[in-house]
Structure 1
Amino acid sequence: MQELIVTLTIWALPVLFAITLHEAAHGYAARHFGDRTAELAGRISLNPIRHIDPVGTILVPGLILITSSLVGAGAMLFGWAKPVPVNFGRLKNPKADMLWVAAAGPFANLVMAIGWALLFRVAVGMPDNAYALPMAKMADAGMQINAVLMLLNLVPLPPLDGGRIAVSLLPPGPAYKFAQIEPYGFPILLFLLLTGILGDILGPLVALFRFALATVIGL
């Protein structure tokens, strides 16, 4: 039980900020390109409470961490926040600007991953004390969850960010047809997750990203 509490404590802040700041970034980008829907809904905020989804932000990540801790095996941790409302029709150039609004979330995860990597470097360079190890573990968790969320959201499947980026880049005809997949996107994603296909795809990509991040930061 004590080990489980420690695990939840270490992962709580990294998961919370990775998910909520990802959504806030979409809102900031949408406002920049002309859509104030998220702003008027109070969703352009760094306050995590405004973005928390009880199931996606707390229950699902918590259950994954608890299960992994009890069985002693690692699992791909992921979750989601309440989607930030975006009216793409209100963007200055809807099709082109959709790319930047969609990319803002994964970009936020990239920035956070770099920030956690820098904190990890500071932690491992600290004298051996009561703060160094917990800080290093939390920073490692931050790198991991942001890597997973960034790469997961870049999967070209609507309504994931990668799907919206693909719609923005495709010619109008194919873009319209591809966008029709969106109602089936979550069931497809759930199928890929439960069958292990998603883990097989993302696992090597996450490992490669972690390696590149460690190389750049000099870990």
Structure 2
Amino acid sequence: MKKVMIRFIGAAAMLSLTFCSNEGIKERPDDIEATGERTEIYNKIMAEFPEFKNVKKTQPALFEGTAAKQVVLTNESAVYVTYISEGASYSNTFGWYSYNINDKPEQRSDLKLNVLFPHVSYRVLKQGDRLQVGDGTFPAGTVIGFFLIINGWGGGEIHYDRETFYTDYTLNTDAQQQHVLFKQKELGDIVLTFEDDLTSHQSDQDFNDIIFTVTDNKENKAATNFDLTNVVNL
């Protein structure tokens, strides 16, 4: 695998993309680990986030200022992301970035974005597909942020100049929160979902367009290396 650094002006950030030789960016990464369907997680999430229901009204705790919006490491750890579901009308691109908790980015150009899933689609991914974030472990005090490029995938490539939503949502258009982070009481993972239409415009605000889980281990054990102090339990 060859790592290529691409700088683009439109979003004023640098992205690190991994693709195979000169075949271009792969729609489905080669290093995906298939862990099998996680129907129980999906069903629990969808019970709380049904289609076309405004989550700001049904789950207001997720939008309170005290609610955790990021994954923060309390111990050195690896981080893994598992695909659960996609119900979007766009061909979105999903990735991550990181920074020290004491050095919060103030603008988009402060971020180094890393694409994880070039095309988040049920036609490409299977429920339970997992990727590791980065190549190793992150030190305690690291914030793992995530981003979604809206309609980022098309024609076999990623369109970096399109609308992008960040879990550091003050960097979003209109500084609107486009994701929620929470923990299911019966599950060990943190759940991350996105609303891919601007919530300040016409949007159903059901926040179930893209669903992933985030954990610190590959054994399906409860995550113990994340700060769960202000993570909302549903």
TM-score, normalised via structure 1 length:
0.25
Q: Which has the higher helix share?
A: 1
Q: Higher strand fraction: Structure 1 or Structure 2?
A: 2
Taking CA–CA contacts closer than 8 Å with sequence separation of 6 or more, which of the two structures ends up with the larger relative contact order?
2
Q: TM-score under structure 2 normalisation? A: 0.24
